[in-house]
Structure 1
Amino acid sequence: MTARIDRRILVRALALGGMAMALSACSLFNSSKEAKPAPLENITPSLQARVVWEARVDSVKFPLSITAVNDRFVVGGSDGVISALSAKDGTTLWRTEIGKGLSAGVGSDGRFAAAVTRENELVVTEGDKILWRKSLTTPVVTAPFVAGERVFVLTLDRAVLAFDAADGRRLWELRRPGEPLTLQQAGVIGAYQNTLLVGQGPRLAGIDPNRGLLMWEATVSNPRGTNEVERLADLVAPMGRDKDVFCARAFQSAVACVNADRGNSIWSRNVGGSTGLGTDATLVVGGDGSDRLTAWGTRTGDVIWTADQFQNRKLSAPLVTAKSVIVGDSEGYVHFLSRDKGQTIQRLSTDSSGIAAPPVQLGDTVLIATRGGRLFALRQD
C-alpha cells in the first residue's frame, strides 16, 4: 500500500558512507488538493480552562520544541533569541541572542541550554552567557538534548554526537548504517536513567551516554513498500513516557511502546501518521494521516477510543494531562478532549497563525506556542 505523505513534511535524500548529501527537497504528497478541514463542532464545555499569562518570541519557522525543566519553560524564536520563562507567571528569567536564526528547538537541563542555528552551529549557554560554539557538518532539525553536563545532538542523518556542556569538547560520535531517506522533522532523543534513547530509522536505540556504545535496540516498525519513500519510517518527536515505558511513532507506519529497562517492544500497532504521541500511565494518544485521534492502553495497546471530529485540521501532537487530552490545530485552536471517550469538552482560540509545537506541561501550567510567536500559558480548573 502506498503511504500518504503529508505536504508539511520535507524529505531529504542522504547519501551514506561519507558521500555528499543530496540537498534538494521534494513534496511527496499524492494530490495537488488538500482535504478541507472538518468544521468546528458545537460543544457544551464541561471543563474550565483559561489563559493565565502570555509572552512572545519571534515567529516560528523551524521545528519548534519547548523544554520544560525545573520551574521554567525554555524557548527560542526564528530570530535566534532563546529565553527562559517562569512557568508561574511568564516572567523572563534570562534571555540571550545567539546571533543566528534557529533550525531546531532549544534543549536545557535548567543550567545549560543548547540550540542549533540555521548556519548549522551548535551554541551552548549558561543562563544568558554564551559558553561556546561549534560548527556541525550535518544539518540538525531536532532540539539538542542536555543531561549529565553533556549536550547530545541528533543530526539529520540520525548520527549522535556528544559534547561536554561546559567546554564543548567532543566526547564521542555514534554513526551507524542509516536509511537512504530521513525526515526533515524533529526526531526522537531522550533518556531513561543512565541510558540515552535515540530514534534511528524505525528503531529506538539505547546508548551508553558515557561511551557512545549501542546497548540495545527495539523495533517500532517493520517498514514495507516497493520503494524507499514507502519504506520511510523515521521515529518522530515527541516520544511519550510513563516510568520505564516509552512510546513512539514511526512515520506513516506504526505506533509502539518499548520497555527501556529490558530494551524490548511491549506492543506495536500498524497505523499511519506523521506526528508524535502523548502518553501517561493509562493512555497513549496519537493522530493518523487524516487527523483522526486514537487512544490506546499504555500497557496493552488496546484501543480505548477514537475521535474523528478534527479530521484534516493539521493537528499538533497531543498532550495527555490528568484532566484532559490537549491538541492544537493549524487555525490556532486548542482542543480539550475527555480522557475516557475522546469527546471535545472545551476549546480555546489563540491566533490564526496555527499551533507551532506540541503543548508542553509543567506542574499545572500548559504552554502553547503559535507560528506567529505568541505563547499562551493555560491552566485547567
Structure 2
Amino acid sequence: MNKKFKIPFALAVLAVALAGCSSNKPKVEKIKPNPLPKLVQSKSLQQTFVQHVSATNKKDPLRLQMAVDNGNMFFVDPDKNTVEAYQGNQRLWSTRIAKKGSLSAGAVAGNGIVVVGNQKGELIALDQAKGTILWTNELSGSLITPSHIQLGRVITVTNDGNVYAHDAVSGQQLWTYRLPHVQLSLRGQATPVVLDPNTVLIATANAYVYGIDVVSGVPRLQRRVSVAEGRTDIQRINDIDGDPVMMGQFLVTTSYQGQVTVTDLQQQQVVWSDDASSNKRPEVTQDAVYITTTDGKIIAYGLLTGEKLWENDQLLHRNLSNPVLLGSDLVVGDYEGALSLLDSSTGKIVGRSATKGEVTSLRVVNNQLYVSTQKGALSVWQNR
C-alpha cells in the first residue's frame, strides 16, 4: 500500500539544512530570529474584535481561519469542538460537534451554510442563521485546510490526495477526483480557489495545478508551475501550500524550495519565474506580486515583468505569515504575534501592532484585517 509521508514545515527546514552532512553527529547551529527593528514614528492598527479559542499544536499548525459572510464571522474551537457565529462582538450561536475527531480545518461560509472539517475526515455543514447541523459526510482522509464553495458545490481536498464535491444543500456526494500520489511532502495543503466561474483550481504537493469543472468533476487544466533541484528526496520537496491567486488571466503561485511563478493561462505560457522558497499565499494586485519567503524575506515583483521592485530582510527567520494589503500598507505577522506594516511601494516598515501567538493566517475582507494565531487568538483590525 502506498503511503504519503507528511512532515511538519519546521522539521523539513531542519532536514534540508542537515542533508548531505557526512558527520555522524552533525552540529546544528540554531538560527536566531532578527529582532524587530526600532521605529521612530509608526502607524498602528485598531483592534475591533478579539475572541480566544483553543491553541493548536506548534508542530502541526492548522489554518483555523475565520470565515466571513453576510457581515457575520464564523470560526471553530478545536478543543471544545464548537463552531461559533458572531455579528460584531455579539455571539449569535455556538454549536458543539460530536467529537469523532478534533476540528482541524478552518470554516468556510457561503450559500447560507458554514462548512468545517475534522481530523477523522468528517465534513460538516451548518445553517448560517441557526447553527443547526444540516449534513455530515465521512471522507477518506483528514481535513487540514478549509473547503471551498462554488456553484452550489462544496469542494474539499483531503490529506490523502482526494478532491470531493458535495451538494451544498443536501450534502450528496457528486464527484471525486484523485490527485497524483506524492511520496514525501510538507504537512499542508492549499485551499481550492476559483479559476473561473465554472472551474475550481487545486494546487498540489507535486508542484502542479489542476483545473476541475465544478459541476462534472472533469479536469480542464493540468500544468506544472515549479521545479525543485536537489540530491535528496527532502531537498526536492516542492509543495504548493500557499493558495494560488488569479489576477485576470494571470495565475500566481509560490512553492516550497521552488519558484514564484506568473503564468498567462490565456496564452498557456509562463510570463516569468524567480527562485524563491515560500509556503504562503502571495498577495497580488494589478501591478505587483508580494511574497514572504521561508527564511523571512518580503519581496515585491512587477506582475507583468517580474522585476524585483524591492526586498526587505529586516524580519529574517521570524516565521512570517502570508502578506496582505490593507489600504496602502502591506501587513505580515510573525512568530511572536507582531503585525508589521510596510509601505507597499518601498518595502519600508512604517508601523506595528501586536496580537497573541504566532500568526498563522491573515485575510482582508471589506478593508478589515482578520488575524488567526497558533495560540487561538482570532481578531479583527482596521486602519486608524
**Same-fold call, TM cutoff 0.5:** yes
Q: Distance in 1 between matches of 2:224 and 2:154?
A: 26
Matched, 1:139 2:142: yes
Deviation (angstroms), 1:325: 0.5
1:111 matched residue in structure 2? 112
Structure 1 range deviating more: 77-86 or 166-175: 77-86
Alignment of 1:1-381 (within 5 A): 19-21=1-3, 25=7, 27-28=11-12, 29=14, 30=17, 32-61=28-57, 62-64=61-63, 65-79=65-79, 80-86=81-87, 89-100=88-99, 101-109=102-110, 111-127=112-128, 128-191=131-194, 192-200=196-204, 201-260=206-265, 264-351=269-356, 353-355=357-359, 357-381=360-384
Task: Find the residue that maps to 2:94 and give its secondary structure.
Answer: strand
Distance 1:245 1:85, change over 3 A: farther
CA contact (8 A) 2:42 2:352 kept: no
- Structure 2: which amino acid aligns with 1:300? T
Q: Is the 8 A contact 2:242 2:279 kept in 1?
A: no
- Larger mean Cα displacement after TM superposition, 23-32 or 178-187: 23-32
State how many pairs are aligned: 359
- Asked whether the 8 Å contact 2:103–2:118 carries over to 1, the reply is yes
> Taking structure 1 as reference, are residues 219 and 24 closer, same or farther at Cα in structure 2, changes over 3 Å only?
closer
Contact preservation (8 Å) 2:115, 2:123: yes
Alpha-carbon distance change, 313 to 333 in structure 1, aligned in 2, over 3 angstroms: same
Per the TM alignment, residue 349 of structure 1 is displaced from its structure 2 partner at its CA by: 1.5
Secondary structure at 1:238's aligned position in 2? coil
* CA drift at 1:182: 2.7
TM-score (norm 2): 0.86
Which residue is 2:24 aligned to?
A: none
Gaps in structure 2 of 5+ consecutive residues? 19-27
Contact 1:188 1:235 in 2 (8 A): no
For the Cα contact (< 8 Å) 2:247–2:284, is it kept in 1? yes
Q: CA deviation at 1:309?
A: 0.6
Q: Distance in 2 between matches of 1:307 and 1:281?
A: 21
- What is the aligned partner in structure 1 of residue 22 from structure 2? none
- Output the CA distance in 2 between the equivalents of 1:338 and 1:53: 25
Shift of 1:110: 5.3
Cα deviation digits, residues 355-379 of structure 1 (max 9, x gap) = 1x22111112111122222222111
Point out the more displaced range, 103-112 or 293-302: 103-112
Note the C-alpha offset of 1:270. 1.6
Instruction: Provide closer, same or farther for how the CA distance between residues 297 and 25 of structure 1 changes in structure 2, counting only shifts above 3 A.
Output: closer
1:269 aligned counterpart, secondary structure: strand
TM-score of the superposition, structure 1-length normalised?
0.87
Q: Using the alignment, how far apart are the partners of 1:185 and 1:25 within structure 2?
A: 9
CA distance in 2, matches of 1:259, 1:85: 40
Separation in structure 1 between the aligned mates of residue 349 and residue 371 of structure 2, nearest angstrom: 18
Letter in 1 for 2:113: F
Name the structure 1 match of 2:23.
none
The AA in structure 1 aligned to 2:372 is A
Q: Which runs of 5+ in 1 are unaligned?
A: 1-18
Deviation of the 1:176 alpha carbon = 3.7
What is the alpha-carbon distance in structure 1 between the residues aligned to residue 142 and residue 222 of structure 2?
A: 24
More divergent stretch after superposition (256-265 vs 335-344): 256-265
Query: 1:240: Cα distance to partner?
Result: 3.2
In the aligned structure 1, how far is the partner of 2:7 from the partner of 2:311? 34
Cα distance in 2 between the residues matched to 1:248 and 1:175: 21
Which region of structure 1 is more displaced relative to structure 2, 167-176 or 326-335? 167-176
Residues 1:183 and 1:194: Cα distance change in structure 2 (over 3 Å): same
Q: Distance in 2 between matches of 1:331 and 1:48?
A: 16
User: Following the alignment from structure 1 to structure 2, what is the Cα–Cα distance between the partners of residues 222 and 280?
Assistant: 25
Residue identity (%): 23
Contact 2:6 2:186 in 1 (8 A): no
Q: Judge conservation of contact 2:325–2:364 (CA < 8 Å) in 1.
A: no
Deviations 1:101-130 (A, max 9, x none): 212212222512211112221111122011
Once the two structures are TM-superposed, the CA of residue 286 in structure 1 deviates from its matched residue by 1.3
Residue 250 to residue 158, structure 1, CA distance change in 2 (3 Å): farther
Structure 1 residue matching 2:272: 3-state secondary structure: strand
Query: Displacement, 1:254?
Result: 0.9
Amino acid at match of 2:251: F
Change in Cα spacing, 1:119 to 1:208, as seen in structure 2 (3 Å) is: same
